[in-house]
Amino acid sequence: MPSGCLTLFIINKAGGLIYTRHFSQDIAPLNVNDCLRLASTFHSMHAIAGRLTPVGPPTGIETLEADSFRLECYQSPTGIKFLMLAEPKVVALDALLKQIYIIFSDYVLKNPFYELDMPVQCDLFNIKVDALVQSK
């Protein structure tokens, strides 16, 4: 796995966590409750920030940079949020998240057995995301 990318979260338009994938082998993954809490908290902050946008269309939080981490968010046209938690040195996460959205569209949304807003359990999606993250 590439150094720097830690965890991917996919949040549905209602704020529910539908997918999480941990990539770092150096840092222990968050437990399920922490992932759910982080997803719902970010969804709420994103919605509030979108309403506070003074100019242009409401976008919400796109990037959050701190000393110890970087959080990047891509919101799809359908309202699904793709979040990547990474080390501060990692850049160009927006392009990576857009590519993950394309993979999500191809392998999850086009899957006739997937129900919208339900947790993602698709092996092909996992394989393609892993391959994409490894190639970066």
pLDDT in tens, 95-106: 999 999 999 999
pLDDT above 70: residue 2: no
pLDDT above 60: residue 93: yes
Half-sphere exposure of 2 (CA within 13 A, CB side): 18
Q: Are 15 and 39 in contact (CB under 8 A)?
A: yes
Please give the model's pTM, rounded to 2 decimal places.
0.89
Q: Which CATH class is domain 5-135?
A: alpha beta
Q: Are 71 and 49 in contact (CB under 8 A)?
A: no
How much is the average pLDDT of 71-92?
A: 91
pLDDT above 50: residue 10: yes
In 3D space, the residue among 74, 68, 104 whose CA is nearest the CA of residue 86 turns out to be: 68
How much is the average pLDDT of 15-44?
A: 89
Q: Note the helical H segments in the chain.
A: 32-51, 93-104, 123-135
Ranges 23-32, 34-43, 57-66, most confident: 34-43
